[in-house]
Structures are given as C-alpha cells and as structure tokens.
Amino acid sequence: MRRHETSSNLFISNLFISNLCVEASPTLMTTTLSVTSRRRFSWNWLGLAPFFLFSILFIFLPSASLFIDSFQNQAGQFTLENIAGLFEPPIPASYLLSIQISLATALMGGLLGFLMAYALTVGNLPRWLRPVTLTFAGVASNFAGVPLAFAFIATLGQVGFLTVLLRNVFGWNIYEAGFNLYSFLGLSLAYMYFQFPLMLLIMIPAIEGLKREWREAAENLGASTAQYWLRVGLPVLMPSLLGTMLLLFGNAFGAYATAYGLTGGNLQLITIQLGAQMRGDVLRNPNLGYAMALGMVVIMAVCISGYIWLQRLSERWLK
C-alpha cells in the first residue's frame, strides 16, 4: 500500500491472520475482576475515549470533510458535478494508468515474490539463506519514496550504473533500444522493488502452512510433484495468493512519493494528478480534487475488503 508508501510491511503478514484466532479464544476476560458497580461502566468507556477522539480528529474528520466537499460546489451547495467530473478527461485516463501500473506490478511482483517464497521453502536452497532473505525483504518492502526513486535513477537512468555497464561491456544501449526509466515500464520496475519482497514476506508463512500430510497423501495416491501443486497446493494457497496481490495492488495504487521522485509528475497517475491539484495548478474546478480523493478511497476500500475476505477464506486451510 504504501502507502504512505513507506508502508512497513513486516507486520502485515500476520496482521489479519491473528484476527480470527482471537475471536475463537474463550480466554477473553469475562468478568472475574468485576466488582459490580454502575460507576465502572462509565469508566470503561473513558479508557477508549482518547483513542476514539484521536481517530475522529485525524482520520474521520479529514475523510468526512473530503467526502462532503466532493458533493458540494464552491458556493457550498449540494451538487453531483464533481462526481460527474471524474468521468471527464483527463481524470479517467489517470485512474486507468494508476490501475494499470498497480495491476502490472501486483501481478509481476506477486509472481516473482511467490516463486521466491517457493524457492526458499520447498526448493532445496541452503537453510541459512532464509533468514537473510527475510531481513532483506523486510528492508526492501519498506524502502520506498524518494530514496527508491533515486536508487533507480542511479542504476537505470541515462548514466546509471547498469545502463553504462550494459553499453560498455555488452554493447547494448538500452535507451537506443527504446527503454526509458521515466515511463510506465521504468516506474513499474521501481515499484517492483517493494512489491515482490512484500509478497515474499506474506507467502512464506502461507506455504509453510501447507500440511506435510497432504503432500504425502497425494504421493501415496501416485501424484507427481506437478500434480500435487496443481491439484492441492495452489488451490489451497489461491485465496492468499489473490488476497496478497490485492494488497500489492493497493500498495502501488496509493503510492505518490516514488512516482513523483522518479518522473517528477510526467506520468499522469491519479496520485500525481491529485498532488498537482493540491499544489493549486491545473483543473478548472477545485472541488474536483475532493472527488478524486474520494474515488481513490473507494478503490482502496474495495481492494482491502477483498484482501480481508480472501485472507479469511484461506484461514480455513492454513492455520
């Protein structure tokens, strides 16, 4: 997600997984401590009051103000103009570009991350590689924004390390061959840097959750490794695979700093458009910005709900 891009993802892997265990656990404090009194009831509420006050002030109020403003014109009257404005150029193209890049990096990052998780768990790699790779992945999935953008400029830019290496040693000028770092492909490559490690972090516990008995049972029944994966392994993992890819999608969709740092606003992602709108340039209708933000939240909400739903589905098998 990223959210806030520096979306630190070490914990995400078990974020929702532990959710369900709790609901099932009966240890949760009924009232052994209760010295019945009416006063205590109000005290209990007070305990959560600071948290709710904070969330109202800094999550709900800002969101609500954007929501309300999306349905108002500059004079403060109710209107659907802003929402309608979302469907006029250049906004749909921006949403589409953001969706495309999120989809591409979610799929590619998901594939590479999954294959790597597979290699580290089921493949016969030396054991010591695993903790090292996990730490690397933890760092990489948190390495985003301006530093990440610059790391790619220094590597694949016009005079980047890899560009020069390929040209001088292999005689292959990637820029003459049509590559451009400040493009869809270039930004996707940069996003991949935090996408696939996140997938890796989440998939490793999932793959480990596959029970040895299933594999043995399949083998006893004469299944080959390929058959086991196609008929048992992958179907069981499918909800987590898809769910995590939704998470990756959201991760890329909300990213701003990396894209801004790399392309400086050339690539018209929806976050870049929104940023430009906030800086006070461009669009004729300032209130359109609120609608753009609302649209983003809606898309993100769909992604994350899908992720939570799929994660719950996968709980059934992977405990």
Partner 1 sequence: MSQRAGWFAWLIFMIGALYFVLPLFGTFVFSLQKVRGSIGFSAYTAAFANPDFLRTFLFSSLIAVLTIVASLALIVPTAFWVNLRMPRWRGVVEFITLLPFVIPAIVLVFGVIRTYGKPLTLFGIPLLPPLLNTELSTNIVLVAAYTVLSLPYMYRATDNGLRAMDVRTLAEAAQSLGASWVTVLMRVILPNLRTALLSGALLTFAIVIGEYTIAAFLARPMFGPYLQLQVRNRAYEAAALTIVAFALTWLAMGIIDLITRQRSTPLTGGR
Rule CB under 8 A: choose which of 241, 246, 296, 310 binds partner 1. 296
116 binds partner 1 (CB under 8 A): yes
Identity of the residue, 58 or 309, whose beta carbon is nearer to partner 1 in the bound complex: 58
Residues 29-88 touching partner 1, rule: CB under 8 A, are: 29, 32-33, 44, 47-48, 50-51, 54-55, 57-59, 61-63, 65-66, 69
| Length of the chain measured in residues | 319
Minimal distance, residue 175 CB to partner 1, in Å:
15
249 binds partner 1 (CB under 8 A): no
Q: How far apart are CA 81 and CA 62, in angstroms?
A: 21
Q: How far apart are CA 15 and CA 22, in angstroms?
A: 12
Q: Which stretch binds partner 1 (CB under 8 A): 81-89, 173-181, 214-222, 289-297?
A: 289-297
Rule CB under 8 A: choose which of 225, 235, 282, 319 binds partner 1. 225
The whole-angstrom distance between residue 58's C-alpha and the CA centroid of its chain comes to 22
Q: How far apart are CA 275 and CA 144, in angstroms?
A: 18
Q: How far apart are CA 12 and CA 112, in angstroms?
A: 19
Q: Which stretch binds partner 1 (CB under 8 A): 75-83, 154-162, 175-183, 207-215?
A: 154-162
Q: Which stretch binds partner 1 (CB under 8 A): 177-185, 192-200, 233-241, 311-319?
A: 192-200
Q: How far apart are CA 259 and CA 102, in angstroms?
A: 12
Residues 85-114 touching partner 1, rule: CB under 8 A, are: 112
Minimal distance, residue 236 CB to partner 1, in Å:
19
Angle (CA) 1 51 311, round 5°: 35
Q: How far apart are CA 273 and CA 276, in angstroms?
A: 5
Rule CB under 8 A: choose which of 71, 143, 182, 317 binds partner 1. 143
- Token couple for 306: 């899908």
Q: Which stretch binds partner 1 (CB under 8 A): 88-96, 142-150, 209-217, 236-244?
A: 142-150
Q: How far apart are CA 148 and CA 187, in angstroms?
A: 11
**Per-residue burial over 118-134, b = 16 or more CB atoms within 10 Å of its CB, e = otherwise:** bebbeeeeeeeeeeebb
Identity of the residue, 93 or 278, whose beta carbon is nearer to partner 1 in the bound complex: 278
293 binds partner 1 (CB under 8 A): yes
Residues 263-282 touching partner 1, rule: CB under 8 A, are: 271, 274-275, 278
Q: Which stretch binds partner 1 (CB under 8 A): 4-12, 178-186, 205-213, 238-246?
A: 4-12
- Token couple for 290: 């609120």
- Token couple for 256: 């701003």
Instruction: Map residue 103 onto helix, strand or coil.
Output: helix
* Count of Cβ atoms closer than 10 Å to residue 294 Cβ: 20
Q: Which stretch binds partner 1 (CB under 8 A): 82-90, 136-144, 207-215, 238-246?
A: 136-144
Q: How far apart are CA 256 and CA 101, in angstroms?
A: 13
How many positions of this chain bind partner 1 (CB under 8 A)?
99
Identity of the residue, 95 or 193, whose beta carbon is nearer to partner 1 in the bound complex: 193
Minimal distance, residue 144 CB to partner 1, in Å:
8
Rule CB under 8 A: choose which of 83, 103, 107, 115 binds partner 1. 115
151 binds partner 1 (CB under 8 A): yes
Cα torsion 305, 115, 192, 97: sign: negative
The whole-angstrom distance between residue 246's C-alpha and the CA centroid of its chain comes to 7
The whole-angstrom distance between residue 241's C-alpha and the CA centroid of its chain comes to 13
Identity of the residue, 21 or 80, whose beta carbon is nearer to partner 1 in the bound complex: 21
